[in-house]
């Protein structure tokens, strides 16, 4: 998943391009069809970014991403829980979180 809006972050666009070139399915969350994140993406979601208030435009991105995560988790069901549990064990074993 790549996410960026104008002005776009070059490294995010590059990650999407490289991932697609290596056979990964890319999903873009961006602000317009002309975004550099769109060409390598198999799916693109557009969230308008034009707003006079920073929090309003960021709010739409956060709500959309939260909804997308919930849909994916619901679709994966127990498989998602097993995957998350494994990832949590790995993080604990690597001792990379600061408490």
Determine the pLDDT at residue 61.
Answer: 85
- The two three-digit tokens of residue 33, written as one number: 């069809």
Which pLDDT tens digit goes with each residue over 3-60? Answer: 998 888 899 999 999 999 999 999 999 999 999 999 999 999 999 877 666 666 778 8
What pTM does this model have?
A: 0.73
* Beta partners for residue 27, in sequence order: 43
Determine the pLDDT at residue 43.
Answer: 97
Among residues 63, 51, 53, 45, which one has the least CA distance to residue 4? 45
CB atoms within 10 A of CB 53: 8
Length of the chain: 99
Determine the pLDDT at residue 69.
Answer: 86
Contact 17, 35 (CB under 8 A): no
CB atoms within 10 A of CB 9: 14
């Amino acid at each position: 998943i790549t996410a960026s809006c104008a002005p776009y972050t070059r490294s995010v666009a590059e990650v999407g391009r490289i991932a697609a070139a290596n056979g990964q399915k890319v999903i873009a969350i961006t602000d317009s069809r002309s975004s550099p994140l769109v060409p390598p993406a198999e799916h693109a979601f557009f969230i308008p970014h034009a707003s006079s208030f920073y929090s309003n435009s960021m709010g739409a991105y956060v709500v959309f991403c939260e909804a997308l995560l919930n849909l994916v988790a619901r679709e994966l069901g127990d498989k998602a829980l097993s995957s998350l549990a494994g990832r949590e064990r790995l993080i604990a074993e690597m001792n990379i979180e600061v408490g």
